Chains A and B, each alone.
Chain A
């Protein structure tokens, strides 16, 4: 089977840094993606790691360790608008096959 584990909820203070972890067990692994979803909105792509290491995109960074089947999303200088759900998703092969999503982490940013 396929399973991705991430915390269900995280609360952090505006301006702080928060890390959302994701561990995975899937049949096949090619890369790890992160998506953001605001309430009532569509998931939007944030980041992708195909190789081990850190990828940085502005205030957001994502990390992957294939040997540990583990990745994380790091959000810096948190803003109120970052309050949303964050999903990790595994790409299982190099083709266009569907992503396998985690259940999501609901991030609440408080003043």
Chain B
């Protein structure tokens, strides 16, 4: 089937505006992750959803960041009052089962805050 998809692929916004980034995981995958990747850097964990459990929000850098996952499928990452330091590529990944060790990544959303 289809892989992980994300939209938009690129987003330019003005400082102070709110943005929403969307992730469609692979159908049937129970685990969904959001990571952030700044230029030339590794992947920084933001938030993790596993089935119907409460999400692990321990990686969110501030209370301006939030995410939800509806119906155990699509997820939306919301950044309120964007700042220039929020500029990065936001990657979503999903994983099927606990015995599977591969995370499947989407193509990312490149966010630029001007």
Out of A33, A97, A100, A104, name the residue touching B56 (CB < 8 Å). Answer: A97
Contacts of A94 in B (CB 8 A): 98
Once A and B bind, how many residue pairs between them come within 8 Å at the CB atom? 57
Determine if B16 is an interface residue (Cβ-Cβ < 8 Å): no
Give complex CA distance A42, B91 in Å: 8
Q: Nearest-CB distance from B43 to chain A (Å)? A: 4
Determine if A103 is an interface residue (Cβ-Cβ < 8 Å): yes
Chain B residue nearest to A4 in the complex (CB): B42
Give complex CA distance A42, B27 in Å: 18
Determine if A7 is an interface residue (Cβ-Cβ < 8 Å): no
Interface size on B, residues (CB 8 A): 27
Interface size on A, residues (CB 8 A): 24
Chain B residue nearest to A48 in the complex (CB): B101
Task: Find the residue from A43, A95, A103 having the highest chain B CB count within 10 A.
Answer: A43
Q: Which of B22-51 contact A (CB under 8 A)?
A: 30-31, 33, 35, 40-45, 48, 50
Contacts of A97 in B (CB 8 A): 48, 56
Determine if A102 is an interface residue (Cβ-Cβ < 8 Å): yes
Per DSSP, are chain A's interface residues mostly helix, strand or loop, or mixed? loop
Determine if B107 is an interface residue (Cβ-Cβ < 8 Å): yes
Residues of A in contact with B (beta carbons under 8 Å apart): 4, 31, 33, 41-45, 48, 50, 87, 89, 91, 94-104
Residues of B in contact with A (beta carbons under 8 Å apart): 4, 30-31, 33, 35, 40-45, 48, 50, 56, 59, 91, 93, 95, 98, 101-108
